[in-house]
Amino acid sequence: MSVLPPDLDAAGFAAFLDDLRAVVGPDWVWSSDEDMHAYRDSFSPVWNTEEERHASAAVAPADVEQVSAVVRVARKHRVPLFPISTGKNFGYGGPSPNVNGSVVIDLKRMNRVLEVNEARAFALVEPGVSYFDLYRAIEERGLKLMLDCPDPGWGSPVGNSLERGVGYTMPHFRDHFGAHCGMEVVLPDGEVMRTGMGAMPGAQTWQEYPYGFGPDPSGLFAQGNFGIVTKMGFRLLPLPEYYRTCLITVPKRRDFVKLVEHVNYLNDSGLIGEVEYGSPLRAKMADPQVMALITKAGGVSDAELDAAAEAAGLPCWQVELQFLGPERATYENWTFARDRILGDIPGAQAIEGEHFALPASEHQLDTPQQPWPSAIKRRRSLGVPSLGEWKIVRDDGHIGFFPVLPRDGEAVFEMQRVLGDAMKAFPTLPPFFNALTTPLLWHTHTFQMVFAPSIKHDDPEHNAISHAAMKRCVEVAAEHGWGDYRASPIYQDAVADTYSFNNHALRRFHEQLKDAIDPDGIVAPGRGGIWPRRFRA
């Protein structure tokens, strides 16, 4: 599947590649079909179709000077670059670009952990550093710090946070972009810029005071195309002394509203880590009557779900809470949470779960011993990167849509009903939205729900269904004010279109900026739905 960069013929492409080789050396430029296979999105719903986006070549610089030189070469030849860090953004496009013929600038070789400061709890890393690498750098030195990592540990703190990825420990660390502090960026003209205190020569606080002085442009580089991030600082959690868990159940459907309010309070007060909402009734989903009820058009009533729960002898909802901190504090926080919720919701019950000192032993990491069927993923909850959760992937991969909704039980019921009804048009897909679907409290202050239909490399009909369902889900969600938080290149225009307040004022602003600093679209044109003048024409 050979492609050429936009507006370039084969001779021009060859000259461009020669210029790249002069910068990085002949071993670090690739353009053969065989080599470019690894830069395809192996989770693509448009695999082997006209819609799939293909890069024409890849180049791997060794340092920021080479990144800058590559950008200048690309500018000279007007070739769009598509930066990747570790290239593991699966479900959201993997390493594949927005524009056919783009050249992937693969930053994996830039893999230095530049600093980990235990006393001041921060790290400074390059884009090719993975969560595994950063974890190793902390553990090998025996530092008392905890990472906050996504499910797959092969991803990059830089790449994941620039995608606004999430983790699973304490509230302000789960939002990975929110937990960054200071970045170095190569701009579309090849200049190197530092944000925050990094802009002041001699400042010692680059990873501690994020703003510096004046406007802080760091947000432009997340899900954007205004530069290539070559260094990024992150705040780290001091290793908590102790880990504690508990389970709380509430009997009736409507109890969920109060339960959410209590958990919000605990979260916002910094008393708990990530939570796992669930429904014990899910254990009955193999029962056709239960399945029919929870997928009923128009949603279920309180009475209907309460009756099903009573018949099954199960509570409607549960939440697993996790506490991190000094041992005595975790004990007090757990009993506080228990007393607060049980004192307010009739019939609520609480079970004390596993608890132990940190760091966890191998046995504690490998074999959780909860007195209930737990949805907590032990490693990720303790900031230990792994690929243990990769087994959740079905078929050949999946695509992800995680609509953002308020942390409010009524809003959860509404999303269950609205998106459940809308997705009935795609009956071969699992019922992602049903009356037992519970929200995720991954980002610090908001809920999300999961829509993640699978893809199969050899089944274009199945992929077409997942693709159509994805687009429809984004559309219906937006009609109700629920926006997507992150999208694959093939969906970025559609998602950006839904953020349309005042005749797309935000997009028009981004376009003005893009035209000013990168009119030819050298850095990732189309990313985030932002197109420079050259590609809008």
Partner 1 sequence: MRSVVVAAAVAALAFGVAQAQDGMRTGPTAPDLAEGKAVFAKWCAPCHAPNPGLAGTFALQHKYDGKVPAALENRTDLQPALVAYFVRNGVAWMPPFRPTEISDAQLAALNAYLTAPLDQRGAPAELLAEEMVQLRSEGQ
- Verify binding: residue 450, partner 1, rule CB under 8 A: no
- Which two tokens mark 419? 């998106």
Helix (H, G, I), strand (E, B) or coil at 357: strand
Q: Contact between 226 and partner 1 (CB under 8 A)?
A: no
Report, in Å, the least distance between residue 347 CB and partner 1.
35
Stretch that binds partner 1, among 15-23, 45-53, 88-96, 247-255 (CB under 8 A): 88-96
Residues 399-428 that bind partner 1 (CB under 8 A): none
- The reply to whether 304 sits near partner 1 by the rule CB under 8 A is no
Best CA proximity match to 310, nearest among 344, 274, 347, 273: 347
Instruction: Please report how close the Cβ of residue 40 comes to partner 1 at its closest, in angstroms.
Output: 8
Question: Should residue 298 be labelled a site residue for partner 1 when binding is judged by CB under 8 A?
Answer: no
Catalytic option among 39, 40, 53, 92: 92
Task: Report the residue number, 142 or 313, with the smaller CB distance to partner 1.
Answer: 142
Closer of 140 and 461 to partner 1 (Cβ) = 140
Direct distance between the N- and C-terminal alpha carbons of the chain, in angstroms, rounded to an integer: 26
Catalytic residue from among 486, 507, 527, 534 = 486
**Interacting residue with partner 1 among 128, 198, 299, 353 (CB under 8 A):** 128
CB of 223 to partner 1, least distance (A): 22
Q: How far is the CB of 196 from partner 1 (least distance, A)?
A: 29
Residues 24-83 that bind partner 1 (CB under 8 A): 30, 34-35, 37-40, 42-43, 58, 60
Residue 72 tokens, joined: 């200048």
Q: Does 92 participate in catalysis according to the annotation?
A: yes
CB of 117 to partner 1, least distance (A): 19
Supply the minimum distance, in Å, between the C-beta of residue 5 and partner 1: 20
89 backbone dihedrals φ, ψ, rounded to 5°: -85, 55
Does the annotation mark 168 as catalytic? no
How far, in Å, are 23, 82, 187 from residue 228 at the CA level?
17, 9, 6
What is the C-alpha R_g of the chain?
Answer: 24
- Sole window of 117-125, 137-145, 423-431, 519-527 interacting with partner 1 (rule: CB under 8 A): 137-145
In the chain, what's the furthest Cα-to-Cα distance? 75
Angle CA(47)–CA(52)–CA(54) in degrees, nearest 5? 115
Among positions 50, 119, 142, 286, the unique one binding partner 1 when judged by CB under 8 A: 142
Encoded one letter per residue, x for contact with partner 1 by CB under 8 A and - for no contact, window 375-404 reads ----x----xxxxx-xx-xxxxx-------
Q: Decide the pairing of beta strands 192-194 and 237-238.
A: unpaired
Range 189-197, long-range pairs (CB < 8 A, 24+ positions) = 189/71, 189/72, 189/75, 189/517, 190/68, 190/69, 190/71, 190/72, 190/75, 191/68, 192/64, 192/68, 192/230, 193/227
Q: Whose Cβ is closer to partner 1: residue 27's or residue 427's?
A: 27
Angle between helices 460-479 and 409-422 in degrees, nearest 10: 140
Under the binding rule (CB under 8 A), the answer on residue 368 touching partner 1 is no
Q: At what angle do helices 327-342 and 255-268 cross, to 10 degrees?
A: 150
Residues 333-362 that bind partner 1 (CB under 8 A): 359-362
- Give the span between the Cα atoms of 76 and 118, in whole angstroms: 44
Q: How far is CA 325 from CA 122, 176, 234, 357, in A?
A: 18, 20, 20, 10
Q: Which residue of the set 282, 485, 491, 527 is catalytic? A: 485
Q: Closer to partner 1 by CB, 340 or 457: give it.
A: 457
Give, in degrees to the nearest 5, the angle at Cα 131 between 126 and 133.
70
CB 107 within 8 A of CB 82: no
Nearer to partner 1, 211 or 390 (CB): 390
Q: Does 135 bind partner 1 (CB under 8 A)?
A: yes
C-alpha–C-alpha distance, residues 533 and 537, integer Å: 6
Judged by CB, which is closer to partner 1: 106, or 484? 106
Q: Which of residues 150-179 bind partner 1 (CB under 8 A)?
A: 153-154
Helices (H), 141-194: 157-162, 171-174
Total number of residues binding partner 1 (CB under 8 A)? 47
Choices 117-125, 133-141, 311-319, 412-420 (CB under 8 A): range interacting with partner 1: 133-141
CB of 173 to partner 1, least distance (A): 19
Q: How far is the CB of 155 from partner 1 (least distance, A)?
A: 12
Measured from the CB atom, the residue of 350 and 360 that comes closer to partner 1 is 360
Cβ atoms of 37 and 81 within 8 Å: the answer is: no
How many Å apart are CA 107 and CA 313, to the nearest integer? Answer: 54
**Numbers of helices and strands, H then E, in the chain:** 17, 17
Annotation says 209 is catalytic: no
- Residue 291 makes contact with partner 1 by CB under 8 A: no
Residues 94-123 binding partner 1 (CB under 8 A) are 94-95, 106, 108-109
CB of residue 60 to partner 1, shortest distance in Å: 5
278 contributes a contact to partner 1 by CB under 8 A? no
- What residue type is assigned to position 322 of the chain? Q
Stretch that binds partner 1, among 130-138, 214-222, 306-314, 484-492 (CB under 8 A): 130-138
Nearest to 303 by CA among 438, 407, 435, 449: 435
- b/e code 474-489 from CB counts within 10 Å (16+ = b): bebbbeeebebbbbbb
Residues that bind partner 1 (CB under 8 A): 30, 34-35, 37-40, 42-43, 58, 60, 86-88, 90, 94-95, 106, 108-109, 128, 132, 135-136, 139-140, 142, 153-154, 359-362, 365, 379, 384-388, 390-391, 393-397
Residues involved in catalysis: 92, 485-486
